[in-house]
Amino acid sequence: DPEMTLLTYLRRKLGLTGTKLGCAEGGCGACTVMLSRYQTHTQQLLYPQSSLRRERLSRPLCSLHLVAVTTVEGIGSVARELHPVQERIAMAHGSQCGFCTPGIVMSMYALLRNNPKPKMADVEEAFHGNLCRCTGYRPILEGYKTILNAFDCKLCFCFLQEATSLFNPADFTPFDPTQEVIFPPELMSLSKDQRSGLLCFRGDRASWLQPDSLDEFLRLKWEHPDARVVVGNTEVGIEVKFKNMVYPVILAPAFIPELNNVSHTADGEYYLI
């Protein structure tokens, strides 16, 4: 169903309730997860990040064809073992009400999967879209400072002066990027075997059309001039959920290679598509 979001599917269909519904508009970051996919034309694994370094679950489920979804349950739990990212936010007292915690954990996790050796500025930027009204972010940042490779908690006088001394950095499990879960091999195989062309999903009230080329996208827009164009679904999703709007045809250009690159001209100017 093109109108079903990833959040609805995870919570209601799969029972994975670790991911929270906060603002329902993609603004608070409580529903953050990590999405990863295999890019066939470059033969690279991508851990896609939005401008805020992760993905919100307001995205339609059908937009995630051949995409691996990693939720907070998927990186660790008290039943088996907490991930170093989860352990730090707990032991550093970075969680109070707990609604924002899964999203903050996944923002940090996605950052580390993209950049195993981040700087403090990278960590702060990763949380730009995560709202926490309880902690003021200080214990969260203090806990995650200990995961930075360039940060020696025992020797840094500034950290000792600023820290609340509620935890001992030596007690934390070291972060080892080589021990992370690999991209599902079956998805990689399916991605390699995927035929090019239009991907179409149809529901009771809406049709989802996902072209893989700019020419195909322009042709579909010509055929369906009233179709809404959806990438992150932060606008159309709100209209459907809160205003009961119905859009019979939705065009999804997110995976068109021509619309995901920066081109440089001979005179040094460039344009971003």
**CB atoms closer than 10 angstroms to residue 12:** 11
Provide the token pair at 154: 């025992």
Q: What percent of the chain has pLDDT over 90?
A: 35
Which of 175, 143, 168, 144 is CA-nearest to residue 154? 168
Return the sign of the alpha-carbon dihedral for residues 56, 60, 66, 72.
positive
101-157 pLDDT, tens digit per residue, is 999 999 999 999 988 889 999 999 989 889 998 988 989 999 999 888 544 444 455
Dihedrals phi, psi of 20, to nearest 5 degrees: -100, 150
Dihedrals phi, psi of 57, to nearest 5 degrees: -90, 15
Q: How far apart are CA 49 and CA 2, in angstroms?
A: 22
Average pLDDT over residues 11-28: 88
What is the reported pTM?
A: 0.83
At residue 49, the pLDDT reads 46
Contact status, residue 85 vs residue 147, Cβ threshold 8 Å: yes
Contact status, residue 63 vs residue 254, Cβ threshold 8 Å: yes
77-86 pLDDT, tens digit per residue, is 888 899 999 9
Which of 31, 169, 194 is CA-nearest to residue 106? 31
CA distances from 134 to 93, 101, 151 (A): 11, 11, 26
At residue 155, the pLDDT reads 44
Mean residue pLDDT of the chain comes to 83
Domains and CATH numbers, the chain: 1-194 (1.10.150.120), 197-272 (3.30.43.10)
CA distances from 163 to 123, 168, 222 (A): 17, 10, 59
